[in-house]
Chains A and B, each alone.
Chain A
Amino acid sequence: MIDTVGRAGHTPAEPQPYADLGLAPDEYARIRELLGRRPTTSELAVYSVMWSEHCSYKSSKVHLRQFGEKTPAHSRMLAGIGENAGVVDAGDGWAVTFKVESHNHPSYVEPHQGAATGVGGIVRDILAMGARPIAVMDPLRFGPADAPDTARVLPGVVAGVGGYGNCLGLPNIGGEVVFDAGYLGNPLVNVLCVGLLRPGDIQRAAATGAGNKIVLFGAKTGRDGIGGASVLASASFEEGREAKRPNVQVGDPFAEKVLIECCLEIYRAGLVVGISDLGAAGIACALTELASSGDGGMHVDLDRVPLREASMGPEEVLASESQERMCAVVAPDKVEEFLAVCARWEVLATVLGQVTATGRLQVDWHGERIVELDPRTVAHEGPVYTRPIARPSDQDGLNADGPERLPRPNDLRALLLRMVASPGLCSRAWITDQYDRYVQGNTVLAQPEDAGVVRIDETTQRGVAVATDGNGRYTRLDPYAGAQLALAEAYRNVAVTGAEPIAVTDCLNFGSPEDPGVMWQFSEAVRGLADGCLQLGTPVTGGNVSFYNQTGSTPILPTPVVGVLGLLDDVTRRTPMGFAAPGDVVVLLGATGEHFGGSEWAYAEHGHLGGTPPPVDLAAEQALAQVLRCGLLRSAHDLSDGGLAQALVESCLRRGLGATVAVDGDPFVALFSESTARALVTVGEDDLDRLTALAEDSGVPCVTLGEVTGDPDLTVLDVLTVPLEELRRASEATLPALFD
């Protein structure tokens, strides 16, 4: 029997399974109050998915406001938070949109499909802005590299990211892979997508103009992914993951590829008034958000939705998270042309209903009213919580247990080889070789470079640089600083290519918001990131919050992943990371102190996490970025995890050119400390004086370390000499040995 609005009015006492759908008793009471009756089962489905943590941001909203309040002046933002993704003015009549999102829980339950649909979801977000997707990146976190479950999760995630992205024709230009015990029961699969559009072509997710048609197009709707957002992404795992598998969406990248081309043709022809992707909460989300952001009124005949399984009930149709679907608002005189474009791409398109002047969302099922509500109460006026916040009781102890007590190594050569081979620092080629980095023909830099660089205009050679970073260990030690360190590193990674960093997207991966300790980490991280962005002049344009990343009562390392977008006027002048030619002078920019708290050395050698992370100096980062844009550099590589030693090794191995350098003071500190605001650069001998003078003007410490040699080894004078071949073997053997 269909639970109609009329029936709901006559059966107020009928018990409803609101708790099973993730709604709190007071939330359910609020829904009854808003409606003036009990909700129908369909309305309950709509409210429960839309008021889930994942869709409503109910625990994070009060904190995220800072990103808007602290937006720097002179921002290039064309569209910001609240849209599917932020859009920034890239110059020359181009705009760029980018956003990072999580698909953590599905990727733990079913690694391949979870990761694949993570790519699909963020790509549709970018597409819905009116942009052609032009690149993806994948910041990933796994449990220990040698843990049995990592051997289950990692290969599937990588095959899923690659399988979907490769089939869409999107170059994968970078990302991260981090291993830590803190992610063992809860890996993080974040995906960033970059899109390109003309500033005038930005699409809006709003249903305006009474009489305009609501058109659903793309894949058919099935039972996959029902409650994915509310069941998977808004609660911790308590029971077995197998039981959740039906909640994981299943991806069809071919359907998405034709959907992309179809949408772009529709945009070019000016056939839509508004458009929304279907992601979390599926049709329920698309209809309520389109209506809520538009005129408010909409009438839809839900039984017109093409189904994979005819037996699906209206609640399932509303909540299904079947992939590769979009919903457009089309003027009546454009419908025919719209449907013709869809037919050309063999994309299924169905008129479901129209915009009305009622201010109400009305949904019928075979002629019977099953939803009648004010869409704003669903999409924009959901519950907001100010969750209790408490600094964790173990925080002081953690900060007091510094790395000073750890034994220092005697044999730095042996240490270097162990570090280079450690899972945290070793070559990522086993993973990144599964990703197409060439497709679209505009990839100028891709992994293992510090940032991905993509050309956006073949005539002017204008391009963008993007990097993502996040350090859960630093953030565990100090969430305010940790978020800023992630920002600083991504900013630096963009700057070493010669690009000017201009905007930020973030994916905030945390434990349960109902844990006051986690909420403290979250609020501190958001405050740190917002303050940092204000100081660097790079606004947060959009992003995603992923809560409930925990196993039982143990949360993951708090992990704000920060993506920074930069602009390059001329990609032919980008600076790559590898040493370029023998005779070039090797220079270290920035100051080195003794900073081992949360370092790769402390973790890899001692399994230690304690003390305080390296200090943040955003003014120093800005000054460094200024010097990095000088146009003199032959190569530039950011110093971060593993310190100078790792940067030297990577710079040598990139093109197989050795170097001889000398370091001052304690060589262990010089080589392995993780002080921030530093970069390893090379210049031609003739340019050294200019670089030195420039650095001095900018207040950036500048030390000549040595030179690039034609020799096949890396030498740190009086400390170590290692053949490049030995370093390469050490670096490249680790992941194949673990995952082949």
Chain B
Amino acid sequence: MAAVTAKVGVVTFPGSLDDRDAARAVARAGAEPVALWHADPDLHGADAVVLPGGFSYGDYLRCGAIARFAPVMDTIAREARGGLPVLGICNGFQVLCESHLLPGALIRNDVRRFVCRDQRLRIESTATAWTAAYGHGDEIVVPIKNGEGGFVADRRTLDELEAEGRVVARYLGPNPNGSARAIAGIANAAGNVVGLMPHPEHAVDPLTGPGADGLGFFASVLTTLVTA
């Protein structure tokens, strides 16, 4: 039987910046990227969705606070509760927190500066739609680039995330932004929604990134979709 290519939607909000990069990563992993527009609630057949990095609406208010009200987010929130794999990268992670699809919030980096660097991460959970292709404890290098990437949540939430294996990735080496417990990414309880502060879409080709360690996130969702 001929394989049907999975479709992965990439949302463009006004101010999205890494949308084309996310689409490139999706294509590189073997899926078909589908451009989604913030004002259009239709997912155009996407089997999974990426909320890309950037500064939606300039992030002049809290990051992601306006984007969560986009018509496309109503659909995504509804479908995500039904199991649609959703990956929020950087600004996308912020949008997911603002949408209450993920707990906690992202605040200004403790160093009070934008930080762009190649970051070592450890994969802490492979039980999500976006990390199944990794091995538990894998150490990877992926760029981070954010000004408001410090993950915060109350202690009970943090303990819960830890206990339920929902911490997806952790920073290795010096904590780049003051994230609680060096958390770089988390998942919802079902594991289909993942928020990640680092940018795996910028580590899919050694020519233009620190390596190809980030490709696994996009390969994972393909596997998830095929076996679903």
CA A217 to CA B115, docked complex, whole Å? 33
> Given the complex, which residues of B lie within 8 Å of A432, measured CB to CB?
116
The verdict on A166 contacting B143 (CB below 8 Å), with A254-B58, A258-B14, A440-B20 known, is no
Question: Is A455 in contact with chain B by the CB < 8 A criterion?
Answer: yes
Digit string of B3-34 for contact with A (CB within 8 Å is 1, else 0)?
Answer: 00000000000110110110010000000000
**Which residues of B sit under 8 angstroms from A360, Cβ to Cβ?**
none
Which A residues are CB-close (under 8 A) to B117?
433
Interface members, chain A 147-168 (any B CB < 8 Å)? 159, 162-163, 166-168
Query: How big is the A interface, by class?
Result: 20 to 34
B115/A434 in contact, CB under 8 A:
yes
Which residues in B have their C-beta under 8 angstroms from that of A591? none
With A258-B14, A433-B115, A433-B116 given, is the CB distance from A438 to B207 under 8 Å? no
Does B58 lie within 8 Å of A438, measured CB to CB? no
* Residues of chain B at interface, number, CB under 8 A: 28
B68 within 8 A of A: no
On whether the beta carbons of B14 and A346 are closer than 8 Å, the reply is yes
Distance in Å from the Cβ of B72 to the closest Cβ of chain A? 15
Given A434-B113, A434-B115, A455-B208: A440 and B58 within 8 A (CB)? no
Contacts of B18 in A (CB 8 A): 169, 439, 441
Complex Cα–Cα for A169 and B201 (A) = 14
Let me know if A559 is at the binding interface, CB within 8 A: no
Assess the B14–A438 pair: CB atoms within 8 A: no
Shortest CB-to-CB span from A154 to chain B, Å, is 12
**Within 8 Å CB of A252, what residues of B?**
58
Q: Which of A339-373 contact B (CB under 8 A)?
A: 345-346
Does B85 lie at the interface of the complex (its beta carbon under 8 Å from any beta carbon of A)? no
B170 close to A (CB within 8 Å): no
The smallest beta-carbon distance between B220 and chain A, in angstroms, is 20
Q: Are B54 and A438 within 8 A (Cβ)?
A: no
Q: Which residue of A lies closest to B53 (CB)?
A: A439
Instruction: With A166-B145, A169-B54, A257-B15 as known contacts, state yes or no: A438 contacts B115, CB within 8 Å.
Output: no
- Docked complex Cα distance between A440 and B114 (Å): 18
Q: Does B104 contact A (CB under 8 A)?
A: no
- Is the pair A169, B207 in contact by a Cβ cutoff of 8 Å? no
Q: How far is the CB of A158 from chain B (nearest CB, A)?
A: 9
In the complex, the answer to whether B202 meets A438 with C-beta atoms within 8 Å is yes
CA separation between A436 and B55, bound complex, in Å?
A: 13
Q: Enumerate A423-452 residues with CB–CB distance to B below 8 Å.
A: 432-444
Contact (A438, B60) CB under 8 Å given A159-B113, A258-B14, A345-B14:
no
Q: What's the nearest-Cβ distance from chain A to residue B109, in Å?
A: 10
CB contacts (< 8 Å) of B55 on chain A: these are 166-167, 253-254, 257
CB of A372, distance to nearest CB on chain B (Å): 40
In the bound complex, residues from chain B placing their C-beta under 8 Å from that of A434 are: 113-116
The answer to whether the Cβ of A571 comes within 8 Å of any Cβ in the partner chain is yes
Across the interface, B24 reaches (CB within 8 A) one of A258, A433, A441, namely A441
B94 → chain A closest CB, angstroms: 14
Residues on the B chain within 8 Å of A433, using CB: 113, 115-117
- Which of A345, A440, A444, A571 is most buried by chain B, counting CB atoms within 10 A of its CB? A440
Is A437's CB under 8 angstroms from B20's CB? Answer: no
A100 to chain B, nearest CB (A): 22
A346 proximity list for chain B (CB < 8 A): 14
Q: Are B14 and A436 within 8 A (Cβ)?
A: no
A-B contact number at CB 8 A:
86
Q: Do B114 and A163 touch (CB < 8 A)?
A: yes
Within 8 A of A (CB), among B190-221: 199, 201-202, 207-209
Q: What sequence of 0s and 1s flags, for each residue 178-192 of chain A, a beta carbon within 8 Å of any chain B beta carbon?
A: 000000000000000
Q: Tell whether A439 pairs with B21 under 8 Å between CB atoms, given A167-B55, A444-B208.
A: yes
Q: Which of B14, B115, B143, B207 contacts A572 (CB 8 A)?
A: B207
In the complex, what residues of A have CB within 8 A of residue B147's CB? 163, 166
Q: Are A443 and B208 in contact (CB under 8 A)?
A: yes
A219-258 to B contact mask, C-beta < 8 Å, 1/0: 0000000000000000000000000000000001111011
User: B113 and A438: CB pair below 8 A?
Assistant: no
Docked pose: A433 CA to B119 CA in angstroms: 12
A441 touches B21 (CB 8 A): yes
Report yes or no: B115 in contact with A441, Cβ–Cβ below 8 A: no
Counting chain A CB atoms within 10 Å of each CB, the highest count among B60, B115, B143, B202 belongs to B202
Are B15 and A435 interface neighbours, CB within 8 A?
Answer: no
**Residues of A with C-beta under 8 A to B113:** 159, 433-434
Complex: A676 Cα to B113 Cα, angstroms: 37
Residues of A within 8 A of B20 (CB): 440-441
Which residue of the partner chain B has the closest CB to A443? B208
Q: Are B15 and A258 in contact (CB under 8 A)?
A: yes
Q: How far is the CB of B113 from chain A (nearest CB, A)?
A: 5
By beta carbon, the residue of chain B nearest A438 is: B202
Q: How far is the CB of B21 from chain A (nearest CB, A)?
A: 4
Q: A166-B145, A434-B113 are in contact. Are A441 and B202 (CB under 8 A)?
A: yes
The residue in chain A whose Cβ has the minimal distance to the Cβ of B37 is: A344
Query: Among the interface residues B15, B21, B143, which one has the most CB atoms of the partner chain A within 10 A?
Result: B15
CA of A436 to CA of B147, assembled, Å: 11
Q: Which residue, A169, A435, A438, has most C-beta atoms of chain B within 10 A?
A: A438
Q: Is the CB of A441 within 8 A of B17?
A: no
Chain B residues with Cβ under 8 A from A253's Cβ? 55, 58
A254 in contact with B14 given A438-B143, A441-B201 (CB within 8 Å):
yes
For B208, the chain A residues whose CB sits under 8 A away are: 438, 441-444, 455
Contacts of B57 in A (CB 8 A): 254
Q: How far apart are the CA atoms of A443 and B145 in the complex, in Å? A: 14
Nearest CB of B to A132, in Å: 11
Question: Smallest Cβ distance from A451 to chain B, in angstroms?
Answer: 16
Q: Given that A253-B58, A443-B208 are known contacts, is A438 also in contact with B15, CB under 8 Å in the complex?
A: no
- The interface residues of chain A lying within 8 Å CB-to-CB of B116 are 432-438
CB distance A571 to B207 under 8 Å? yes
CB under 8 Å from chain B, chain A span 602-618 = none
A433 vs B147: C-alpha distance when bound (angstroms): 11
Instruction: Convert B135-151 into 0s and 1s, putting 1 for each residue whose CB lies closer than 8 angstroms to a CB of A.
Output: 00000000101010000
- Pick from B143, B201, B207 the residue with the most CB of A within 10 Å: B207
| Cα-based distance from A448 to B3 in the complex (angstroms) | 44
| Bound-complex Cα distance A438 to B21 (A) | 9
B15 to chain A: which residues have CB within 8 Å?
167, 254, 257-258
In the complex the two chains form, is A444's CB within 8 Å of B14's CB? no
Residue of chain A at shortest CB distance from B17: A169
CA–CA, A442 and B204, complex, Å: 12
Please indicate which of the listed interface residues A162, A163, A441, A443 has the most CB atoms of chain B within 10 Å of its own CB: A441
**Nearest CB in chain A: distance from B207 CB, A:** 6
- Nearest residue in B to A434 (C-beta to C-beta)? B114
Q: Nearest CB to that of B12 among chain A residues?
A: A261
Inter-chain CA distance A162–B115, complex, in Å, is: 10
The 3 closest A-B pairs by CB, nearest first: A254-B58, A169-B17, A441-B21
Contacts A/B (CB < 8 Å), 23 sampled: A162-B114, A166-B55, A166-B114, A166-B145, A167-B15, A167-B58, A169-B17, A253-B58, A254-B57, A257-B14, A257-B17, A433-B117, A435-B116, A438-B145, A438-B199, A438-B209, A440-B21, A441-B21, A443-B208, A455-B207, A455-B208, A571-B207, A572-B207
If A162-B114, A436-B116, A438-B202 are given as contacts, then 8 extra A-B residue pairs at C-beta distance below 8 Å, sorted by A number, are: A163-B114, A166-B147, A257-B58, A258-B14, A258-B15, A434-B115, A434-B116, A440-B21
